[in-house]
Amino acid sequence: MQTGTHLDREHCVRAVQSKDARFDGWFFTAVLTTRIYCRPSCPVVPPKPENMTFHPSAAACQQAGFRACKRCRPDTSPGSPEWNRRADLVARAMRLIADGIVDREGVPGLAARLGYSTRQVERQLLAELGAGPLAVARAQRAQTARLLIETTSLPMAQIAFAAGFSSIRAFNDTVREVFALSPSELRARVPGSGASTPGVLTLRLPFRAPLNPSNLFGHLAATAVPGVEEWRDGSYRRTLSLPYGHGIAALAPRPDHIACRLTLSDLRDLTVAISRCRRLLDLDADPVAVDERLRTDPLLAPLVDRGPGRRVPRTVDEAEFAVRAVLGQQVSTAAARTHAARLVTAHGKPLDDPEGGLTHLFPSPEALAGVDPETLAMPRTRRTTFTTLVRRLADGELRLGVDADWAEARARLLALPGFGPWTVDVIAMRALGDPDAFLATDLGVRRAAKELGLPATPAALTARAEGWRPWRAYAVQYLWATDSHPINFLPA
């Protein structure tokens, strides 16, 4: 399925008529007779094809004067996989908008982060999405507002402020326009709505099926840094550093969604917290497309068939992951956790966890840049690697955030002392989010390849993996699944 101005009408009609949930978030169906827009899997009787128009974003539908369907709630669809598989201007812009940059810094701030003019950014988003950055951010604010209306008992004025609206009037007008209901009417439709604890929200994070939670939550639990992360009662819990404050996320797999409980010091961080949790768990992936590609290799196909829907466990903080990758070079997972826990205790910002167990935010690059290298329990060469990395991150010379140019970030990482292909590729896979990053030198990957009859040398394995593009990072997850000790930070 293509996006932007290249929507294939015939494929879109077939997806709507078959109520195919795989395409939820890829595109939206606007019905000319009712002036309502839906997700492809909407349970109502499909409209006649001549009454359907198709748009690449909810913002485009809203800008064209269509209202969100009350049955299928298209505003709660999984995000489009396009924005996490590409590194071009539009994809980087969409990741930044999801991270709340337009609400905090406006469109000029978005353009500055991307290194383009405001006009260039607006023109490219309009061409591909049918809506500019302000319209996309407005649609996101509407979704956040609806979530707060339906899941909390906050006064509407506080909700408007938390969702990013500049005034109560803009909040009321947007909610009415998008949902054809007033904020009070939206709340009345949800019996017993309202949170009992201030700052705590419970919500569902949708995804495209299938989803195999074992690699996601198994990896996160096995590598959890004490004080920052923990696995408790079937949930992965961790602390979050956010633009306006801090938070704690508790995430648990369910058959058709991820149960998410957020405790936020400032509700203005809700949109960002949701975006980062979705990114952490790779929830906007298209597992059907990934698995279909990997099944074309007859030696890899049995692994995919055995446990389809594997995701790439990512991160909520790209700088944090880069630091942890260096701490884990040439040591066991347990030793890497110990190194990280010491840094957290010494340099992380303390916080209160109402449930106990979590104690700190992971220290920022700025905090780590002041660490005395002699206090680090690691070889001298790795101390140099660590101090160089955190200084580059702290002074902005190295950017690994959602706005990062993947090729530029890779080049800058490779130029750092102590950074070899393995470290660069694991950061590209889990921090930058490159779905085609490939760990050809990883011992676990090579061991699994040998067991399957695949080439085991890095060069030969890389050549074989050409047929797995653009999803080689997912192939790594399947290969790691064959290893009894799949989580090991090994060569640099």
pLDDT digits (tens, 9 = 90+) for 42-89: 999 999 999 999 999 999 999 999 999 999 999 888 888 888 888 899
Q: Give the mean model confidence (pLDDT) for residues 353-367.
A: 96
| Catalytic residue chosen out of the listed positions 269, 317, 434, 442 | 442
Q: Is the pLDDT at 1 greater than 70, yes or no?
A: no
Q: Specify whether 442 is catalytic.
A: yes
Bridge partner list, 251: 236, 260
Catalytic (active site) residue 38: yes
> Please, which residues have CB within 8 angstroms of residue 225's CB and are 6 or more apart in sequence?
324, 337, 340, 341, 344, 362
Residues forming CATH 3.40.10.10 domain(s) in the chain? 4-76
Q: Is CATH 3.20.20.20 what the domain over 269-480 is classified as, yes or no? A: no
Per the confidence metrics, is the pTM higher than 0.75?
yes
Q: Report the share of the chain in percent with pLDDT over 70.
A: 96
54, containing H or E segment? strand 52-55
Which of 38, 42, 61, 260 is an active site residue? 38
In the chain, list all ranges with CATH 1.10.10.60.
83-188
Asked if 267 contacts 420 with a C-beta cutoff of 8 angstroms, the reply is no
Question: Residue 90 pLDDT > 70, yes or no?
Answer: yes
Helix (H) or strand (E) holding 460: helix 458-464
- pLDDT of 331: 87
CATH domain 4-76 topology: DNA Methylphosphotriester Repair Domain (3.40.10)
Confidence of residue 378 (pLDDT cuts 50, 70, 90): confident
Neighbours of 457 (CB within 10 A): 13
* Region 273-281 average pLDDT: 96
How many residues make up the chain in this entry? 492
User: What are the start and end residues of each CATH 1.10.340.30 domain in the chain?
Assistant: 269-480
Q: Which CATH superfamily includes the segment(s) 83-188?
A: Homeodomain-like (1.10.10.60)
Task: Classify 431 as helix, strand or coil.
Answer: helix
Give phi and psi for 95, each to the nearest 5: -65, -40
Using alpha carbons, select from 99, 17, 94 the residue that is nearest to residue 58: 94
Mean pLDDT of the chain: 91
- Determine if the peptide bond prior to 191 is cis (ω within 30°): no
> Omega before 47 cis (within 30°)?
no
